[in-house]
Structure 1
Amino acid sequence: MSTRPPSGSAAVRGIRRSVTEATAAAAAHQLEPLHAASSAKDHERLAIVQGSVVRTLLEQLHPGGLSSADAQEAIQCCAKNAAPWYPDLDPNLLVLVLMGALGAADPTDGPQPNHTAIAEHAALLIADLLVMADEPLDGYLSFALAEIERAETMELP
């Protein structure tokens, strides 16, 4: 039996709102709204949803596969765009977010991770990738939430 809240729950709406508001704040270069939107209480689910959005965007932008040069370009472009207005920019966190989205690392692992900083860097990367894809967030976010819901409701044999 799953203890996960249904998709229409306040928790899921909260994750949707956090991702939407954080991404919009990152796109608009608004520091305080980015901080506020990235401080969700459900850090684990927020990281999973943001990671799914990043992965889906990367898959769309690089349908032939993501090379190390493509990944480096995404990180450099995001860092270059965020550096002038985001004082806490840490390229290592951008790399961690990207690696987590690809399943190569868990950005919430390690000694007391700064969940808000990880969520903020994920929002920076998402906002940048959305510009590259010339697409709105909503479809990617809906897909990510549906995939998370499907994965969380599957029963093990």
Structure 2
Amino acid sequence: MWPSDWPSSARAIATAVEAAVAAARSADEPGFRETTADLAELPPDQVTAVLAAIVRELLETAHPDGLTGDDVRAVLEAVVRRSAAWLRRLDAAAVFSALAGALGIDEAQDPDHARTDPQPAAILLIDYLADLTRTPPQESVQRAISEIARAETVEMP
């Protein structure tokens, strides 16, 4: 289903993201935990780049005139409410961290607070935003990976 010219790591990331979003869509907590654990086994920098690109694109689609603080708050609240209904150990701070990271905001980390993995939270953001924008997640995954590949091949002047 994914382009055959993609490297195997890109295809693995795309497949894992698609499976995790499907588990979130069906509110399948065991499936979500399993698929996000599979995602965590892949190269973290590459996975983070793909997830951030997808979240950014979906935010731009949902808010074509720009994103306000109220928009960010509304997205965070909606994702937490939607996910808390089926995900018992939801970490709202991780949702904020994933959203901030996708927006390029380097949040200060409290040294006494253990850093949580934002990847599962990014999947929850993708699920919500894809639903909100009526964008098939597979299309967002494909565009994100293609854009990352394109950016990596562009020569700097």
Deviation at 1:112, TM superposition (A): 8.0
Structure 1 counterpart of 2:141 = 141
In the superposition, relative to structure 1, how do residues 90 and 149 fare at CA in structure 2: closer, same or farther (>3 Å)? same
| TM-score normalised according to structure 2 size | 0.85
Q: Which runs of 5+ in 2 are unaligned?
A: none
Amino acid at match of 1:62: H
Runs of 4+ in 1 over 6 A off after TM superposition: none
**Cα distance, 1:89–1:125 mapped onto 2, change above 3 Å:** same
Give the percent of matched residue pairs that are identical in Structure 1 and Structure 2. 29
User: Residue 88 of structure 1: CA displacement?
Assistant: 1.8
1:16-55 equivalences under 5 Å are: 16-39=14-37, 40=39, 41-55=42-56
Aligned residue in 1 for 2:77: 76
Instruction: Tell me which amino acid in the other structure corresponds to 2:14.
Output: R
Q: Does the 8 Å CA contact 1:56/1:140 hold for their aligned counterparts?
A: yes
**What whole-Å deviation, never above 9, does each CA across 1:84-110 have from its counterpart, x for those lacking one?**
21122111111111111111138xxx9
Question: 3-state SS of the aligned residue for 2:65?
Answer: coil
Question: 2:77 is matched by which residue type in structure 1?
Answer: Q
Counterpart in 1 of 2:65?
A: 64
- The DSSP-based 3-state class of the residue aligned with 1:64 is coil
With 28-37 and 56-65 compared, the bigger mean Cα shift is at 28-37
Shift of 1:154: 3.1
